[in-house]
């Protein structure tokens, strides 16, 4: 298993570093800014950046790629999208890649963007997921390019992974996401307790990630669109009862956009 380190970037981004303690190689995930990675590498000269993994094309996830590639000679893997400069290996849904002798599955998860992919390692005891801006702790990404149907299907694909999957997403949105979740399900005790814990963490300036799929299924309204309480909340806010889980998702996603 690699070691995961979160490097803060911009206002609320995280650049995840995956460290292989055997080879002393590093993979960086969505480095929108090169400087945090370069600073970390300068403080840990025994490590070498070998790979960059990208989930989608937004600049806050790709802006540091060319600088890091020029400085280290690393290889860049990412979605098949000609607008992303510097990719050495374009990836598509179903591809299998090997990182630090671990097999990683590429999952297409359109919705936030049309090119969005996630990376899943089905480790026997510690599966993990790099979810980018698709699945957040307590929430999900905005629909900038895809449809509600696409995003709901993408979230359902991720929800089908093992419950003990550790999820590494790329923004510190947990507190605001759970405040919304509490509005959707005010009687959900799991959300209440989780929000209290997260508020304590943020009060101390601490990170709220990673999360687990099991926890998300209990507290993330976007993974709970078949729950009667979530459907009821969507109906109360939109003025009509959604006819399907997809419609429930669309209603609460639109609600969250203005929350």
Q: 13-35 burial, b if ≥16 CB within 10 A, otherwise e?
A: bbbbbbbbeeeebbbbbbbbbbe
Concerning whether 116 is annotated as a catalytic residue, the answer is no
Does 58 show up as a binding residue in the annotation?
yes
Tell me whether residue 93 is one of the annotated catalytic residues.
Answer: no
The catalytic position among 56, 57, 115, 116 is 56
Placement of tokens 């629909």 in the chain: 143
**Cα separation, 141 vs 135, whole angstroms:** 7
Catalytic residue among 20, 30, 33, 60: 60
Phi, psi of 38 (to 5 degrees): -60, -40
For residue 112, indicate whether it is catalytic: yes
Active-site residue 56, yes or no? yes
133 is catalytic: yes
Helix, strand or coil, per DSSP, at residue 106: strand
Does 171 count as an annotated binding residue?
yes
> What is the three-class DSSP state of 32?
coil
Contact assessment for residue 198 and residue 40, using Cβ atoms and an 8 Å cutoff? no
Distance of alpha carbon 153 from alpha carbon 147, whole angstroms: 10
Residues 154, 111 contacting (CB under 8 angstroms): yes
Element (H, E) at 128: strand 128-132
Residues 30, 33, 57, 61: which is the catalytic one?
Answer: 61
Cα 250-253-259 angle, rounded to 5 deg: 145
**Is residue 56 part of an annotated ligand binding site?**
yes
Q: Out of 30, 57, 112, 115, pick the active-site residue.
A: 112
Question: Is 61 marked as a binding-site residue?
Answer: yes
Binding positions for Zn(2+): 56, 58, 60-61, 112, 133, 171
Active-site residues, by number, are 56, 58, 60-61, 112, 133, 171
Binding positions: 56, 58, 60-61, 112, 133, 171
């Amino acid at each position: 298993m690699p070691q995961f380190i979160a490097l803060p970037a911009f206002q609320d981004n995280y650049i995840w570093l995956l460290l292989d303690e055997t080879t002393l190689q590093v993979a960086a995930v969505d480095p929108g800014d090169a400087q945090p990675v370069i600073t970390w590498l300068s403080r840990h000269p025994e490590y070498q950046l070998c790979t960059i993994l990208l989930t989608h094309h937004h600049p806050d996830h790709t802006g540091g790629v060319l600088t890091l590639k020029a400085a280290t000679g690393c290889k860049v893997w990412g979605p098949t999208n000609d607008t992303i400069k510097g990719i050495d290996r374009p990836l598509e849904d179903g591809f299998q890649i090997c990182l630090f002798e671990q097999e990683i599955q590429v999952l297409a998860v359109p919705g936030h963007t049309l090119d969005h992919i996630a990376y899943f390692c089905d480790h026997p005891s510690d599966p993990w997921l790099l979810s980018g801006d698709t699945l957040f702790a307590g929430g999900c990404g905005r629909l900038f390019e895809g449809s509600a149907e696409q995003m709901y299907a993408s979230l359902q694909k991720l929800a089908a992974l093992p419950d003990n999957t550790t999820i590494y997403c790329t923004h510190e949105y947990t507190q605001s996401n759970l405040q919304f979740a509490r509005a959707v399900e005010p009687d959900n005790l799991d959300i209440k307790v989780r929000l209290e814990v997260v508020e304590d963490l943020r009060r101390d300036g601490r990170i709220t990630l990673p999360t687990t799929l099991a926890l998300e299924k209990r507290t993330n309204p976007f993974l709970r669109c078949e729950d009667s309480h979530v459907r009821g909340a969507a109906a109360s806010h939109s003025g009509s009862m959604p006819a399907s889980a997809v419609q429930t998702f669309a209603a609460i996603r639109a609600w969250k956009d203005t929350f």
